[in-house]
């Protein structure tokens, strides 16, 4: 299992509320249709505790492997999702493929 992590920045003509409304109600339904996606989490930054990075959100997606990620990205749904990003967000986010090392498993939360 692999995980992608990315930063997200709202377009300057969107309020924070408009940004998350669009992402959760328009973009996410498109994005979650990509084949092979095993998990999809959007984390809204509520406030910064420390550091220099200014970001509106982080996005995490899980796939079985890098081949599954590539297939999802190349699919019609994956391409539609990438195309839709510029409708609400800046396209300057950074994305990583990460390997998780779970120290304490997170609680199973629904609609948190």
Give a yes or no: residue 106 inside a domain. Answer: no
Closest CA to 40 of 49, 48, 50, 30: 30
- Boundaries of domain holding 57: 2-98
User: Quick check: 110 pLDDT over 80?
Assistant: no
Give a yes or no: residue 33 inside a domain. Answer: yes
Q: In the prediction, which pLDDT does 84 show?
A: 97
Domain containing 11 — which CATH number?
3.30.70.100
Mean pLDDT (the chain) is: 93
Per residue in 29-55, pLDDT tens?
999 999 999 999 999 999 988 888 899
The predicted model gives 62-84 an average pLDDT of 96
Overall number of domains in the chain: 1
The residues, ordered by sequence, that sit 6+ positions from 23 with a Cβ below 8 Å of its Cβ are: 8, 42, 57, 88, 89
Give a yes or no: residue 103 inside a domain. Answer: no
Q: In the prediction, which pLDDT does 109 show?
A: 66
Please tell me the pTM assigned to this model. Answer: 0.87
């Amino acid at each position: 299992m692999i995980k992608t992590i990315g930063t997200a920045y709202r377009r300057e003509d969107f309020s924070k509320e408009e940004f998350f409304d669009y992402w959760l109600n328009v973009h996410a339904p498109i994005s979650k249709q990509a084949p092979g996606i095993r998990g999809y989490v959007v984390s809204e930054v509520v406030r910064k505790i420390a550091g220099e990075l200014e970001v509106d959100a982080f996005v995490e997606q899980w796939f079985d492997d890098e081949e599954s990620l590539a297939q999802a990205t190349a699919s019609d749904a994956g391409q539609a999702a990438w195309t839709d990003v510029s409708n609400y967000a800046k396209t300057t986010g950074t994305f990583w493929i990460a390997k998780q090392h779970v120290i304490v498993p997170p609680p199973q939360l629904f609609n948190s």
